[in-house]
Structure 1
Amino acid sequence: MVEDFLIARNPEPGSTLPYLLRIPLPGRPVVLKAKDTWPRTAKVYCHRAEWPDDAEVVERVPVRSCVQRGAAIDLVLDRGRENRSQFVMTNARGRQMIFWQSARTTKQARPGVRTPTARASGLASFEVLVDVHERYAWKFSGEQVTTVKRPLTAGDYAVERDGRVLAAVERKSLADLVATLTSGKLRYVLADLAALPRAAVVVEDRYSAIFALERVRPAVVADGIAEMAVRFPGVPIIFAETRALAQQWTYRFLGACLAELRDAEVGEVRVAELATGPALPRREPTTAEIRAWALGEGLAVSARGGRLPAEVRDAWERAHP
């Protein structure tokens, strides 16, 4: 028989995680410290803890099922509302992180939008280079691209022309962005990207998620991002909310970079065509110009004006073919 789901007060004074959760996983209950008693508006950050003998239980709820599936624990409570939730365990910066989420918070984190299927900048299918070190790489399913794995000196995704990388995008999760920012590594990543003609960083999360961070001061992260934007103005940092939207933004950014090159090449061809087109007709000399030339050559011609002899005009033509 599955035990009840228990919520108690955290006896640690001054803790930012004021509640204890006892998840009745069959055979091995899991105890966590948590910031709230239910994930109502956002995911709730949790941390491993011990259940005290004299726990002050504030809520006891019967459980219909509690099952671990991979790195997640699915919990279904026996009540009408706020009954289905999930504890997701992940790793970031070398340590375990646990988030408690419900269907409502998951939906809020993944906006119900449909990405367009129109070609990027009107381009036909093009090739996207994917860095060989990229884990769980985007497949660009449904987009007009093919992907090729290749070592990249900057960025995770790129496009090239004649063996030269034209544009690249560095993909970051929020945890990765925070880790590289606080370690100082991000400035070197941006310096490499800034050496390319076009580059950007895309984050698979919302900017507002920075201010819900637990283990790093949000102001430190916000200031660091602002500093990088000032230091590397040619490499924007884009918050694209979700993995799907980050992939869509990258596809259209790389397509726009290729289209810019295409338009530039068309412009150069048109300028070259103008420069090598048919020569303009030669301007006919005036009578005064021919007279002055003839006098300088010692030809018999009146200096006062009048009609120029035919032989003088013939001489001019022979001298100016």
Structure 2
Amino acid sequence: MPDDLLIARNPEPDSKLPYLVRIPLGAEGIVVKARETWPRASKVFCHRSTEWPADAEIIERWPVRACTRRGPAIDLILERARENRSQFVVTMARGREMVFWQSPRTTKQARPNVTLPRARAHGQVLEILVDSAEKYPWRFSAQQATTRRQRLTAGDYAVELDGEVIAAVERKTLEDLASSLLNGKLRYAAAELATLPRGAIVVEDRYSKVFDLPHVAGATVAGALAELQARHPQIPVVFTESRPLAQEWSYRWLGACRAELLQHRASEDTDEFVPAGPVPPKPASEASAAEIRAWAEETGVQVNAKGRIPATVRAAFQARHDS
């Protein structure tokens, strides 16, 4: 068997873990079923498999620089420039073995100790459109929502009203936020969001992490972000600590946008049935000082050229206009 990291499709059609990963450790290697091909956004749950199939459909193959075992952990270093370090951790839970595949990015990500609510967003089960260009899309498994893949002209996740996209969210990891800010791509993405009735940018991390980026000055990223928000004040940029909380915020926000715009359209439909009555006169309390002084000069009422209008003069103005 080769000493490469092999990733293949799981031949079991009903398995919820669609990939097989062969770790080159030992004579035959260690084979696990996995949910993803790399732990990019969160830890990947794995389950040990019996053997590597002879006719495996290999989809990725990477040379390995080092693969060593230290107690319950297997450290893996690949021969590639990015995403080259990861770790498999073998543990026991409820009497059975569990394997988690993690990377430096997923191990340092925030883990807020919160339970996500199950309530619907504004009383509706949302259908969320997912941009077909999203490689590792949100599934909204903790929310009452369905998803549909299609090409979006703005954002990564959106909702429709009467067949028209009315709100969209642009999703960013912290690293993607920094790079897209500095190369200008996020400026164009924000301009596209601004063409919709509602748009937002959601970051799967904390704002404080902007100043911990390894290859760029935090002040540079923070300055570029401030310029973007000043240019597009109608587009909020929300830092949500983690990927699950980013999904939760986006689900609630998309639901609120759809409900608000639905109510707005309903009110527009009733405007034509409301007769336009005469414009009521402006009360004296709302009349400007200049209007009252002009009236006083015409009628001979004494009033100071500056300062506060006396209540008696305002009352006289009101009485004259009500009569």
Does the CA-based 8 Å contact 2:130-2:156 persist in structure 1?
yes
* Aligned 1:175-186 pairs, distance under 5 A: 175-186=175-186
Q: Which amino acid letter does the alignment assign opposite residue 171 of structure 2?
A: R
Answer with 159-168 or 221-230: which moved more. Answer: 159-168
Distance 1:159 1:172 in 2: 18
Residue from 74, 79, 82 that aligns with 1:67? 74
* Aligned 1:75-94 pairs, distance under 5 A: 89=103
Residue 99 of structure 1 deviates from its aligned partner by 5.5
CA, structure 1 residues 264+185, in 2 after alignment: closer, same or farther (shift >3 Å)? same
Match of 1:192 in 2: 192
SS at match of 1:121: coil
Q: Which amino acid letter does the alignment assign opposite residue 72 of structure 1?
A: S
Per the normalisation by structure 2, the TM-score is 0.55
Match of 2:117 in 1: 116
CA, structure 1 residues 266+99, in 2 after alignment: closer, same or farther (shift >3 Å)? closer
Does the CA-based 8 Å contact 2:116-2:142 persist in structure 1?
no
Matching of residue 266 in structure 1 with residue 247 in structure 2? no
Does the CA-based 8 Å contact 1:87-1:99 persist in structure 2?
no
Distance 2:88 2:147 in 1: 36
Distance 1:187 1:99 in 2: 25
CA, structure 1 residues 120+72, in 2 after alignment: closer, same or farther (shift >3 Å)? same
Match of 1:145 in 2: 145
SS at match of 1:199: strand
Distance 1:140 1:201 in 2: 17
CA, structure 1 residues 271+182, in 2 after alignment: closer, same or farther (shift >3 Å)? same
CA, structure 1 residues 73+126, in 2 after alignment: closer, same or farther (shift >3 Å)? closer
Distance 1:269 1:112 in 2: 45
Does the CA-based 8 Å contact 1:167-1:198 persist in structure 2?
yes
CA, structure 1 residues 200+275, in 2 after alignment: closer, same or farther (shift >3 Å)? same
Cα-to-partner distance string for 1:145-193 (whole Å, 9 max, x where unaligned): 2211110011001111223210100001001111111111111111111
CA, structure 1 residues 159+99, in 2 after alignment: closer, same or farther (shift >3 Å)? closer
CA, structure 1 residues 259+66, in 2 after alignment: closer, same or farther (shift >3 Å)? closer
CA, structure 1 residues 183+243, in 2 after alignment: closer, same or farther (shift >3 Å)? same
Q: Which amino acid letter does the alignment assign opposite residue 74 of structure 2?
A: V
Cα-to-partner distance string for 1:90-132 (whole Å, 9 max, x where unaligned): xxxxxxxx5595xxx66xx11010111122123x223211100
Residue 199 of structure 1 deviates from its aligned partner by 0.2
Match of 1:305 in 2: none
Distance 2:191 2:157 in 1: 16
Q: Which amino acid letter does the alignment assign opposite residue 219 of structure 1?
A: A
Distance 1:148 1:133 in 2: 12
CA, structure 1 residues 114+261, in 2 after alignment: closer, same or farther (shift >3 Å)? same
Does the CA-based 8 Å contact 1:74-1:87 persist in structure 2?
yes
Residue 272 of structure 1 deviates from its aligned partner by 3.5
Does the CA-based 8 Å contact 1:159-1:166 persist in structure 2?
yes
Distance 1:26 1:224 in 2: 49
SS at match of 2:200: strand
Q: Which amino acid letter does the alignment assign opposite residue 183 of structure 2?
A: S
Does the CA-based 8 Å contact 1:87-1:100 persist in structure 2?
no
Distance 1:250 1:154 in 2: 15
* Unpaired segments ≥5 residues, structure 1: 1-24, 28-62, 77-85, 90-97, 280-321
Match of 2:36 in 1: none
SS at match of 1:170: strand
SS at match of 1:155: coil
Residue 87 of structure 1 deviates from its aligned partner by 9.8
Matching of residue 241 in structure 1 with residue 241 in structure 2? yes
Residue 274 of structure 1 deviates from its aligned partner by 3.0
Distance 1:125 1:111 in 2: 26
Larger Rg: 1
Distance 2:250 2:174 in 1: 17
Per the normalisation by structure 1, the TM-score is 0.55
SS at match of 2:201: strand
SS at match of 1:120: coil
Match of 2:130 in 1: 130
Residue 74 of structure 1 deviates from its aligned partner by 5.0
Distance 1:87 1:261 in 2: 42
Distance 1:149 1:100 in 2: 26
RMSD over aligned CA atoms reads 3.1
Distance 2:88 2:129 in 1: 38
